[in-house]
Each structure stands twice: as structure tokens, then as C-alpha cells.
Amino acid sequence: MTHTAPRPTTESRLNNAGQAGETAVGMANDSGGDGERGRSRIAVQADAPGSESSDRSAALAQRLEVPLLEVVTQERDYDFVLQYTACGLEVRAIHAPEMGVLLVDINRKRWRITRRDPLAKAVGRRARRVVDATAGFGGDTLLFLRMRFQVVAIERSPVVAAVLRDVLSRAGYPDLETYERDSCDALWSLHPRPDVVYLDPMYPRKRLGSALPGKELQFLRALVGNDDDSQRLFTAAVRTALQRVVVKRPLQAPPLVANPTLSFAGKLARYDAYLLNRCDRQ
């Protein structure tokens, strides 16, 4: 089935979560991420009046529907504080000092990739349009972009999506088609349909050998907990992709769904590809 909803402008895409009822800043209850989504206290720290990014900070607070703090001492009332700095959007864990500050490094070595990489092989040679349906902080999105695929990124956590937008912008892709929505719903409305839907849901606690650096994983766990609905997401992905669904798993973990057609193991992760024999290709 093909959905032909008009493609939104960049502004309306990014404002998807700005509509009433969709801006819950849902987060895991503890920094260990026990999968029970609760609400962490989030705020945005304002920049000094007149500084370049003060408008951005206010806009971000408004988008997330969280307070905009004027003084640093107010931070102690919050679990996470976001702030635009000269280097990018930082997330500070106020009540978990061991977590410190997250500023995603857009020059990470492992974000360099060639088409000989296991991820590239899993996506396949015929693919052109790839949807990263669990975009997180954008590490894999950047890999797809660097392999010159046409990429769409979807992330449902408003705070993670804010970091994702900042990462993409810093990396030179400010206008990438990006949705702040649940992919189970968003995948249906994509037009044209993607060749490949890529999934990297959070693996339950003690993700075995995650390819994400420790700090990013720690923040993701604290911010989104476990993705307990990945089977549902897989079903939506299979209905949407024209060629295949690729699922990233820790090396030793069982497949998300039994019997992938192909598996490609890398040093840190395994990519399970489910080839689709579609007769309803576009």
C-alpha cells in the first residue's frame, strides 16, 4: 500500500511534535533505563541575552514544552538540562554526575564507512532510499549519508530528536528529511516508499557489545529506556520497505525476528537483513 500524504516542509516536519498532546518528554525513570517510561525533569538553559543562540534556546524550550532557565542555580531542580554551546547542543545530567555531559562528536572515526562495510552489505547494492527509523543521535544516519544513500531519519523522543537535528546540522545536513514521530505511524505516510528500512532499537539492559560509545548509550538509556515495541516496529518496517529490512543487533544477541535472510557481522554489531519478495513494488 502506498501512502501519498503530501511531504511536509522542513518546518512542519520538525514541528510534528509541537502539536498538542505530542510533546511529552517521556524518559526512563532511572539512569539505568529499566524500560518503564516515566518523566524526567528537563529544562533548557538560556544563553546570555543578545548571544547568537538565545532565540534557538527559547525555541527549543518551547518545542519541548519545558522551562527556559535564566540562571545556572535553577538547574538543580532538573534531571537533564540542554544548552546550545559554541560546539553544539549539550545535554547535562544534573543528578547523575557520573554521566556528565553529552556532546555528540560528529567526527568520530567509526562514522567513516565504505560500501565494503557489513552495514553497507546488509543494506545491499540496489538500495537508494534508506529510512533510519530509529535514528537516535544520528550515528547510523550519518553513515548512510556518507555512503550517499537518500536518507530519511525518524526519532520519536523529543529530546533525542533535538540532539539529532543539532548533529545533522553540524555535520552539514541541516535540511535532511527528519521526522519527530513514532516510526510505527510515520513509516506508513512516507512517499516514495523506501528501498530499505533500518532498525536499531535499544537492546534490553546490558546491550551486548553496542556499537555506540558508552556515554551515548548511557544517555539514550536514561532518556528513552528500552524499546519494548520493536516487534511492532519490525512489522511496520516490513510493510513499508520495498527491498529489505535491516536490523542492527549486538553481536551475541538473538535476532529480533527469527531467520533473517542474511547476516553480516562487524566488530561491534551484527546486521540482520530480511529480504522482501514484493509484488507491490512502486
Rule CB under 6 A: which residues touch ligand SAM?
134, 136-140, 154-157, 160, 182-184, 200-202, 212, 220, 224, 227, 233
| Beta carbon of residue 39, minimum distance to ligand SAM (angstroms, whole number) | 15
The residue among 36 and 52 lying less far from ligand SAM, judged by its C-beta, is 36
| Beta carbon of residue 35, minimum distance to ligand SAM (angstroms, whole number) | 12
Cell readout for 281 is 513494488
The residue among 166 and 227 lying less far from ligand SAM, judged by its C-beta, is 227
| Beta carbon of residue 45, minimum distance to ligand SAM (angstroms, whole number) | 22
| Beta carbon of residue 76, minimum distance to ligand SAM (angstroms, whole number) | 26
Helix ranges, 65-138 (H)? 118-123
Q: Would you say 228 and 180 are in contact if contact means Cβ atoms under 8 Å apart?
A: no
The residue among 166 and 200 lying less far from ligand SAM, judged by its C-beta, is 200
Could you list the beta-strand ranges (E) of the chain: 26-28, 37-39, 42-45, 68-69, 80-85, 88-93, 101-102, 129-132, 150-154, 177-179, 196-199, 244-250, 262-265, 269-275
| Beta carbon of residue 112, minimum distance to ligand SAM (angstroms, whole number) | 14
Bin 199: left if φ > 0, else alpha if -120 < ψ < 50, else beta. Answer: beta
The residue among 145 and 202 lying less far from ligand SAM, judged by its C-beta, is 202
The residue among 92 and 221 lying less far from ligand SAM, judged by its C-beta, is 221
Q: Would you say 122 and 271 are in contact if contact means Cβ atoms under 8 Å apart?
A: yes
Q: How far apart are CA 20 and CA 12, in angstroms?
A: 14
